[in-house]
Structures are given as structure tokens and as C-alpha cells.
Structure 1
Amino acid sequence: MSEPVIGNLPPYTWSSEESVAYEAAIEAINGVVGAYSGLITEAEERGSTDEVADLSRRRAACQQERRGLKADNTEEIARVRATYATRLRELTGNDA
């Protein structure tokens, strides 16, 4: 019987700070994806197909960035957290 692929991966130890920052970055992106989903629904209800297409493209770009995020890239994680926190405030009008 062959060994699972995961059995060949070297161990990686995250610090608490790295794991928290990575999860926060993922959640920041998820918040923006959710905001875009709500805006897409509103645009669909108004029948605004151009707006739906634009918002869908923006949401897909966020999803692509989420898939490409690497836990060990601390600079990128910091950028994502800041960028997506700002974008979520812009999309929701929530300054909290």
C-alpha cells in the first residue's frame, strides 16, 4: 500500500503570532467576499446586470487572492489584513 502524500511533507511549526495573523487575513478576505455577495444580491434584485458582473469579478479576485495566500509570507499577510479591513469598511460603510 502506498503512503499518503501528506506523509511526505516536512513539518512546519507556526508561531502563535503567525497562525493568528494568517487566520485574521483569511477572515478579512472572507468578510469582503461576503460583502460583495450581499451587494451582488442587491444588484440582482435591481436587475443591474453590469453591476452584478463587476461585483462578481471583484469577488472572484478576492477568492483568488485567498487561495494564493501563504501562511509563511508575513509581509503579504500584513498587507492583506490592512487592505481588506479598509475595503470592508468601504463596502459596508462601517467605520467600527
Structure 2
Amino acid sequence: MDSGISITGRIEQFSWSTQEAVGYEAAIEAANHLIGAYTARIAQQQAQKQPDQSLISELQQARTSVVHSRDTLVAQDSDQVATQRAIFNVQLAELERRAE
């Protein structure tokens, strides 16, 4: 069923290099990996006999922040994309250390 609404029709046209495209995709993947890690930690904590609600709330807020950061990436801004990708990777490493 065609609703007449085109998602791709709303995307602004711009040119970008293969390097910029790959960098943007890598940043999105890093964010999604981090969001998944937060979701797993939240589920793990919720499955405990006595879940730590404070920790769950902290993890949920952190996950929401990552979603926001991912959703506000500007594909044409390669510096912002690279910086945010690095931040996502540091956050993931920190979350994994805390889980050990």
C-alpha cells in the first residue's frame, strides 16, 4: 500500500566521498553496538532477583544519550562523525570494563 509519503524524498541531496560514507556508516554501527550493549546490561540487571533500579536508570539514560547522539550525526561533517565515533568506542570499552 502506497501512502504517498517517501522517506527518501525528504533526504537532502549532497555529495560525499567514499571515505566520508564509510566513516558515517562506521559511526552509526559503533552507536548501534553501544546501544545494544546498554540494552543487554539493562536486561541483565532487570533479571536479577533484586535489580539495582538506580543502575538501570543510569544505563537507560546513557542509552538514550547515545541514541540522541547517533540521531544528530551530520553526515557531511566528517570531523563531528569521527569525534563521535571515537566517543562511542570509548564508551563501549568503559561499559565492557564495568561489566567484568
- The alignment's TM-score, normalised by the length of structure 2, stands at 0.79
TM-superposed CA distance for 1:8, in Å, is 8.1
Identity, % of aligned pairs?
31
Structure 1 residues 75 and 41: alpha-carbon distance in aligned structure 2, compared to 1, 3 A threshold: same
Runs of 4 or more consecutive aligned structure 1 residues displaced over 2 Å after TM superposition? 4-11
Q: Which of 84, 92, 95 pairs up with 1:88? A: 92
Between 1:65-74 and 1:4-13, the stretch displaced more is: 4-13
1:74 aligns with 2:83: no
**Equivalent residue, structure 1, for 2:61:** 57
Long gaps (5+) in structure 2:
1-5
TM-superposed CA distance for 1:40, in Å, is 0.4
Write the letter of the residue equivalent to 2:75: A
Structure with greater helix percent? 1
SS in structure 2 at match of 1:78: helix
Structure 1 residues 91 and 69: alpha-carbon distance in aligned structure 2, compared to 1, 3 A threshold: same
State how 1:19-58 maps to structure 2 within 5 Å: 19-46=21-48, 47-58=51-62
